[in-house]
Amino acid sequence: MSEERLAFVTRQVHAGKELGGHDPRVTPIYLTAGFVFDDFAEGADRFAGGEGYTYTRVGNPTATAVEDRITDLEGGLGTIFVGSGQAATTVALLALAKAGDEIAAAEAIYEGTRGLLVDNFSSFGIGARFVADVNDEAQWEAAITPRTKAVFIESIANPRNEIADIALIARVAHRHGVPLVVDNTFATPYLVRPFEHGADIVIHSTSKFFAGHGAVIGGAIVDGGTFDWAASGRFAHLTTPQRVRGGHGPGERSLLDLHGSNAYLVHARDDITMRLGPTPSPFSAFLVAQGLETLSLRVERQSANALRVAEFLATRPEVESVDYAGLPSNPYFPLAQRYLPLGQGSVFSFTLRGGEAVARTFYDSLELFTRMTHLGDVRSLILHPRTTSHTHRTAEQLEATGVGGGMLRVSIGIEDPADLIRDLERGFRAVAALPGADAEDAGAAPVGAASAASAAAGASAAPADAPTPAADRAFA
Ligand SMILES: Cc1ncc(COP(=O)(O)O)c(C=O)c1O
């Protein structure tokens, strides 16, 4: 800058200006809306896709640091860090499906994802078909149509701990030229890396185990980089030249020609994320990067603690069932041993005999567990799904998915498990003190019967133009 003395109002925004780093060991927070172009040519070059950053909605070095770390941990080709897990699902699927297309999804998924498909995607003209038994090949065969652009599952499902046979589902999806998208939030790449079993795209709510301390919301889309878009024949927006290109204008050549195996990520970042704008703060990226540094330690401890707590609950006569795949009695135990040998996760449900009234007393008497809708936190948390996350489901749907009045979902933290068990004992004492404590609640769905009903229901179609019943709305 030249030597003349600048005015106060000018100096207050320019004085002390210092760009450039000092090699800090921890990734700095680049809390900036945009990035300086050294000259005219550099601006044009960056907008043409050259090296360097332009604007934080498009990319930011703190976000890149967390993206690179997630890519490495999942074993993928690249990652886009976004503002929430919901944003990650939205971007991942909108980069695959357009109006007139369909998504085939497991019935047992996070309620917010289900709501996104049922309420929001249907209004964009994208339909959803749900599969009741995630590991039933015939049900997937029935749900995948010529319009299907993605198969969507959770590696460990919310809230009942169904473990997906990822390799089996990937085989069915690939037979039809459809990519498999896996929400790996509950498992994290420490417990399972879906790409190693044939998945094509992984998404995360980084609000949960990645951040780990309940202070930040974020999400990630990871591309495995191995799906054959050309051979599939279903993704013209990647394999043929497009009239509209978000970042870089109309193209003479297809994204696949221009970017090869990066085509999906380029489309997801430049045409979807940049346009819809679900941008995280660089501060959020920093917090997730910090959390990732202790991911394995926390997940290992939380899984071990969860097994101890689940074993304890399974011994209690007041408990009708424990949906934890780490218990040998659980139907998903063999799959959990195969896919999750280092630990079976730390979020699971259990059902108290006596229905909602008993669950309420138990829930309100706990002192160490935090009552909240969140998971993957260092602190143990508890939720009553039927009156919170699943409140807008119909009675039939609740019965089919096994979410009864007596069900409670826990997310086990890093505390001493003996303290957690003592807190749960407090809950059982409170229940024992209830007048007529052992009376059955007429409204409670018997869990075993519910599972059978759900498996028998098979794949159910929800075409894009079908009206959505208000009771089907899903909330986070
Ligand atoms: C499995 C799963 N996926 C996605 C989400 C959505 O994540 P977020 O709350 O970060 O938007 C959640 C939230 O609970 C979840 O449990």
CB 474 within 8 A of CB 112: yes
Query: Please, what is the angle between helix 61-74 and helix 282-292, to 10°?
Result: 30
Question: Closest residue (by CA) to atom 7 of ligand 1?
Answer: 85
Rounded to the nearest whole angstrom, what is the distance from the C-alpha of residue 263 to the centroid of ligand 1? Answer: 26
Q: How many CA atoms lie within 13 Å of 216's alpha carbon, on the beta-carbon side?
A: 23
Given pLDDT bands bounded at 50, 70 and 90, which one contains residue 402?
confident
Rounded to the nearest whole angstrom, what is the distance from the C-alpha of residue 253 to the centroid of ligand 1? Answer: 36
Given pLDDT bands bounded at 50, 70 and 90, which one contains residue 250?
low
- List, chain by chain if needed, residues with CB within 6 Å of any ligand 1 atom: 84-86, 110, 112-113, 154, 158, 183, 185-186, 205, 207, 217, 219, 476
- Is it the case that residue 345 has pLDDT exceeding 70? yes
Which numbered atom of ligand 1 lies nearest the CA of 89? Answer: 4
| Residues in the chain, total | 476
Phi then psi for residue 5, to 5 deg, are -70, 125
- Is it the case that residue 232 has pLDDT exceeding 70? yes
- Is it the case that residue 448 has pLDDT exceeding 70? no
Give pLDDT, residue 466: 37
61-292 CATH = 3.40.640.10
Mean per-residue pLDDT, 431-438? 83
Pick 47 or 203 by higher pLDDT.
Answer: 203
Pick 310 or 442 by higher pLDDT.
Answer: 310
Residue showing tokens 């018997």: 446
Given pLDDT bands bounded at 50, 70 and 90, which one contains residue 461?
very low
Rounded to the nearest whole angstrom, what is the distance from the C-alpha of residue 205 to the centroid of ligand 1? Answer: 5
Query: Ligand 1: which of 205, 381, 409 to mutate, most ligand atoms within 8 Å of CB?
Result: 205
State the Cα–Cα distance between residues 342 and 189, nearest whole angstrom: 11
Domain map (residue ranges) of the chain = 61-292, 296-472
Which numbered atom of ligand 1 lies nearest the CA of 109? Answer: 1
Give pLDDT, residue 248: 55
Bridge partners, 408 (sequence order): 350
CB 294 within 8 A of CB 209: no
- Is it the case that residue 318 has pLDDT exceeding 50? yes
Give pLDDT, residue 253: 87
Rounded to the nearest whole angstrom, what is the distance from the C-alpha of residue 241 to the centroid of ligand 1? Answer: 34
State the Cα–Cα distance between residues 275 and 453, nearest whole angstrom: 43
296-472 CATH = 3.90.1150.10
Q: How far from chain centre, in Å, is Cα 447?
A: 25
Query: Ligand 1: which of 90, 110, 134, 222 to mutate, most ligand atoms within 8 Å of CB?
Result: 110
Which numbered atom of ligand 1 lies nearest the CA of 154? Answer: 1
Given pLDDT bands bounded at 50, 70 and 90, which one contains residue 399?
confident
